[in-house]
Amino acid sequence: MNFSIQQQLENERVKLAPLENNDFDALYKVASDQDIWMQHPNKDRWKKEVFQLFFEGAIQSKGAFKIIDKSTNEIAGCTRFYDYKESDKSILIGYTFYATKYWGTGLNPSVKKLMMDYIFQFANKVLLHVGANNLRSQIAVGRLGATKIAEENVAYYGEPSKLNFIYEIKKEDYLSASQN
C-alpha cells in the first residue's frame, strides 16, 4: 500500500482528522449517548470501559478519523478505513457513529462521499460491515449504493463476534452513479 488511509480529508461540510490519543474525552462525550448504540451489535459501547476498547482499536488501526462539523467545529462522530487488501484492491469503511443530533441531516452521505472520492483513487471496491440488527445503518449504506453480498461473524477489537452483513460498493458503480 503506497497511500495513506489516514490522510486528512475535508469538504465544505466536514473535516476528517486523524484520531489521536488525546481525542478520547471529546469523542467519548459523543459516544456516551446510549441511543447511538441501540441497534449496534455492541449495545454497551456507551459505557466508558467498553468504549475504551473501541478507542484503542481505532488508534491501533491507523485509519481512524474524528468527524468534525465545520459549521460548529464540534466532533460529530468517528469513522475509519481498515483492512486494505492489495490482492483485490479492497478496503473497508466502518466503525462509524454520529452524535444523534446529526442523524438524518445528510452528514453521513457527505462523510462517505468524501471518503469514497479519496479511496477510489487507490481501491477498486469498498466493503462495509453492518450489524445484522442495525436497520438504520443498513438503510444508510443502501442509500450510498452499497449491495449486500454476504453475512459473516465479525469480532470487533477486544469484543466477541457478532453477525454482520457485508455490503460492497464497486469503483465503477460509484463513479457511474456520481456522474448522473
Q: What is the pLDDT of residues 99-130, one digit of tens each?
A: 999 999 999 999 999 999 999 999 999 999 99
User: In this structure, what C-alpha cell is assigned to residue 56?
Assistant: 484503542
Q: What is the pLDDT of residues 129-170, one digit of tens each?
A: 999 999 989 999 999 999 999 999 988 888 888 899 999 999
pLDDT band at 43 (very low <50, low <70, confident <90, very high): confident
Bridge partners of residue 152, in order along the sequence: 164
Q: Does CATH place domain 9-178 in 2.40.30.10?
A: no
For residues 110-145, b (16+ Cβ closer than 10 Å) or e, as one string?
A: ebbebbbebbbeebebbbbbbbbbbeebbebbeebb
C-alpha to C-alpha distance for 172 and 69, rounded to whole angstroms:
29
Average pLDDT for residues 71-94, to the nearest whole number? 96
